[in-house]
Amino acid sequence: METPLTAKIRPDGEMIDLAAYERAGGYQAARKAMQMSAAEITDQVKKSGLRGRGGAGFPTGQKWSFVPSGPDAPRPKYLVANGDEMEPGTFKDRVLLEGDPHELIEGMIIAARAIDADRGYVFLRGEYTDAGERIERALHEAASKGYLGKNIFGSGTDFDLRLHMSGGRYMCGEETGLLNALEGKRANPRAKPPFPQVSGLFGKPTIVQNIETLCNIPHIVEKGPEWFQKLSLTGDAGTKLYGASGKVKKPGSQASRHRTNNVSSGRRTRPAARAGAGRGSGRASSLIASNAS
């Protein structure tokens, strides 16, 4: 089976750098997206059936379509990647963040074009220091090639993307609490409406999206919505990353097709014992990827 989300992750646990990511086809989807209109990208994501991977499962393309567009839309608009992941025992986003940060950045570049975002933040769990270092490195690599900052890919549009390390509260994972935290306030959730798509960070239109959700975007743009739907064995499109930790024989993260009775044939990607699945300790090099049979 295809497991696009983890396909580029190196088996030795090191981060895939920009050169290797591009040799493996990375940033081709972003280049393609620069030739597409915002509406076309959103339409592709809607057709793909992608739903948010942060818990609520809201249709991603539909969420993007709530963001005000056109010349009268409030500015700046924001895109925020939710990498808080403080739920005990969870670490599926960490696998992506440490192993393939360029996949996230490329997904954010495409999503930013779809909602015409000016600025983006990766909101990261405070203990994910290895992931933080790798994201910083990847941001620097991408900016130095002109994929971030002013006039990205020569498209005439700008997208500024920064890393924010969380101060560390479970409530920061909830999107409106996260926005308060990003503003430097206590991470109390906000009443909705207004929804962040209309009035989010600093009162401006904002999309908050889970890491795994965003990492799917380059693959959808590259290979198309029908391909993405067929990855799944159920009505829910794409693959899903699962984590197994605690008293289990094989702790780790597993990419699987959506199905109800069997998650054993995906690609397994696990933090080594020292990493303690879901905890922030452990060197980034402890990520081990293996191809399951």
Instruction: List interacting residues with ligand FMN (CB under 6 A).
Output: 52-56, 58, 82, 84-86, 171, 173-175, 208-210, 213
* Closer residue to ligand FMN (CB): 31 or 46: 46
* DSSP annotation of 260: S
Neighbour count for residue 109 (Cβ, 10 Å): 30
Q: Give the CA diameter of the chain.
A: 56
* Closer residue to ligand FMN (CB): 54 or 280: 54
Neighbour count for residue 234 (Cβ, 10 Å): 10
CB of 82 to ligand FMN, least distance (A): 4
- Give the dihedral of Cα atoms 192, 194, 196, 198; nearest 10 deg: 160
* Closer residue to ligand FMN (CB): 13 or 48: 48
CB of 221 to ligand FMN, least distance (A): 16
* Closer residue to ligand FMN (CB): 82 or 180: 82
CB of 11 to ligand FMN, least distance (A): 27
- In terms of phi and psi (left: phi > 0; alpha: psi -120 to 50; beta: otherwise), the region of 49 is left
CB of 23 to ligand FMN, least distance (A): 29
CB of 188 to ligand FMN, least distance (A): 12
Distance CA 230, CA 233 (A): 7
Q: Are 177 and 188 in contact (CB under 8 A)?
A: yes
CB of 22 to ligand FMN, least distance (A): 26
* Closer residue to ligand FMN (CB): 13 or 61: 61
* Closer residue to ligand FMN (CB): 27 or 91: 91
Residue 106: CA atoms inside 13 Å, Cβ hemisphere, count? 26
The partner residues of 246 in beta bridges, in order of sequence, read: none
Instruction: Walk across the sheet containing 267-271 and list its strands.
Output: 239-244, 252-257, 267-271, 287-290
